[in-house]
Amino acid sequence: MNKIYSQYRGRIRWISLGVLIAWTGLIVRLFSIQIAHGAEYRALGLRQSQKRQIIRADRGTIFDRKGIPLTGSVSQYALAADPTQIAKPDLVAGKIAKILNKNRSEISKKLSLRKRFVYLDRNLSPTAYRQLAQDKPYGIILEKTTQRVYPHSHVASQILGFTDIDNHGVTGLEQRLNTLLEGKSGWEVLERNGWGELRTTADTPMKPAQPGANITLTIDVDYQSILQEELDRRVNETGAKSGMGLILNPQTGFILAMASVPDYDPNQAFSFGIENQKLRPVTDQFEPGSTFKIVTLIAALDQQTVQLNTEFNCEYGAYKVDNIRITDHEEYGLLTVPQIIENSSNVGTIKIAETLGPQRLYRYARDLGFGAQTQIDLPGEGKGVLRKVRDWSKVSLAEVSIGQEVAVTLLQLGMAYAAIANGGYLLRPVLIREIKTPDGEVIQENGVTVIRKIASEDVMRNVRAILRRVVETGTGMEASIDGWSVAGKTGTAQKYVEGGYSQSKFVSDFAGFLPADNPQLLTIIAIDEPRYGMHWGGVSAAVAFRRIMERIISMDDSILPPSREAEPREDPDQIQWAAASAVATTPQSRSVLLSSVTFNDDVTIVPDVRGMSLKKAMITLQTSGLTCKLNGSGVVTWQSPKPGKQVPLQTLCQLGLN
């Protein structure tokens, strides 16, 4: 044996050395795998055998005040791929293209990218999803998510806003409350079997998603529908550029409806322009014109610089302030304070403002909320323009008192009129009533918030009585509703264009509430650039107001009609409501003879019918191609537009009889 060993000793040594080296190498390799790089290889193994998948949270729902859903979510399927795991892109692309009926080369190009993830279709049909799921190629990923939908289409679209393809809010409340609505995503671990399929098991870890909060608004979807329908109708009738409106409860500040037209469908948001997505009552500012005269009225009555029976000479319709001529739409003489507002006299309002001075007028405008944001829960709110007194010119007192040199949002104007309706309190507007978790726990609840007291109840009662007469016998008669007491104010503002006030472009607005003695609803309408002849606030905006209110009070039994024991009216002898006194002090205008009236391209001249009987006045106006709105009985004591004015055919002529 020693002889044999001696014979093979060298060979044995080399074999032993080889075995030793091999074992040493294996030990080193094992150390490297198990110890030195153990964590790395374990992570790699987990990545190959497991996948952590995000569980998207269900987006919260937005409801109207009655619990009607304004938003919803539907299942959406997506097709994606991991190109690094696809060995034959052309073969897989051909199979997918056949199912989706899409171009094969485009899909193949995406599958050839050196990326770990790429979307092939973000809006996969349920049928295609099922076909691909039955025989899913390796490296293809199928996702099931949700898509935001808006069941009421255009209704409240500008308030709600919309979401993008990843379900993130882009505009409106969807953007403002995105963090609350989207909730918190969870995750789950999927294990891969021998065929490469991912599946959950009972022992794999997971964290469930937390659904988003549910939000209840103060909006009433029925009110909102009526507002948008009537705005659209009136804009089309008047040939206007656009229109906007607001309905609120003046006692609480709760917004019941708010919109502008043209609007858009959030289900197809990117098919509409950005301008359609704006909520103009909140974002856009405009010169309000005569609807701003309530600031002057409230300030003068509260400061007692005038009394209800104080008379002012309205200069027969023309008045110069620092060599700037300011005119009225009629040639008024002596008017009392209520008559000035009833007939919307610029000259009279300026003279009331002169009893106040700039500082007090500015203070009341500021107290009523102008020049500051209302702090509504919506993005993009404008604050309007109200310059400090130190920046006023010599004519600013006159201009501001009649609603020029200032800019307001419709929402600001609405909250100011709400202060009149509720007895003198400026309220914060409320759009979000409450926010709840999916389990019903209240996160936030909003109620009435009083910002400040503006004036006494007695002052506001007198203002309401004056605004009631505006609708009964003044410029707002088109807003009257049979059986209901309505208070309101008209406005017709020239638009400031290229350094001056336009003679053809106007913003016509009307602000009103009902019942006048116990206001429950307040509505403001603004029509932008209606055609001439329809540009008066008492013609275009007031009609939309009346239609909206008539539909709401016919539908909603919770709106109580005026009580028989209505709010006490002021002494007629003290206030001197009758417009006859104003006519009596107006100089005799040249009569427009019927025989001299000629028609020229749908234009006519307004005849003078003052002093005529009702029948004769109606025949005269009809012969001239005009329509008329009557108030009272007897002999015509005043008319608007004034005699001799050139207007389009079918213009509405308002007549007061006594």
CA angle 243-248-249, nearest 5°? 160
SS3 assignment for 638-649: EEECCCCCEEEC
- In this prediction, residue 141 has a pLDDT band, given cuts at 50, 70 and 90, of confident
Q: Give pLDDT, residue 105.
A: 79
Distance of alpha carbon 578 from alpha carbon 128, whole angstroms: 76
Q: Give pLDDT, residue 488.
A: 96
DSSP state of 183: -
CATH of domain 52-216: 3.90.1310.10
Q: Which residues contact 352 (CB under 8 A, 6 or more apart)?
A: 296, 297, 300, 305, 306, 312, 337, 340, 401
pTM: 0.76
Considering only the top CATH level, what class is 589-657?
alpha beta
Q: Give pLDDT, residue 596.
A: 36
User: What does the pLDDT look like over 328-346, one tens digit per residue?
Assistant: 988 889 999 999 999 999 9
Q: Count Cα atoms within 13 angstroms, Cβ side, for 356.
A: 28
Cβ–Cβ under 8 Å, residues 451 and 369 = yes
User: What does the pLDDT look like over 593-613, one tens digit per residue?
Assistant: 333 334 345 678 888 888 887
Q: Give pLDDT, residue 526.
A: 96
Phi, psi of 586 (to 5 degrees): -90, 135
Q: Which residues contact 307 (CB under 8 A, 6 or more apart)?
A: 337
- In this prediction, residue 197 has a pLDDT band, given cuts at 50, 70 and 90, of low
For the chain, percent of residues with pLDDT exceeding 70: 88
- In this prediction, residue 588 has a pLDDT band, given cuts at 50, 70 and 90, of very low
Which CATH superfamily includes the segment(s) 221-583?
DD-peptidase/beta-lactamase superfamily (3.40.710.10)
Distance between terminal CA atoms of the chain? 149
- In this prediction, residue 625 has a pLDDT band, given cuts at 50, 70 and 90, of confident
- In this prediction, residue 193 has a pLDDT band, given cuts at 50, 70 and 90, of low
Question: Which of 6-15, 41-50, 307-316 has the highest mean predicted lDDT (pLDDT)?
Answer: 307-316
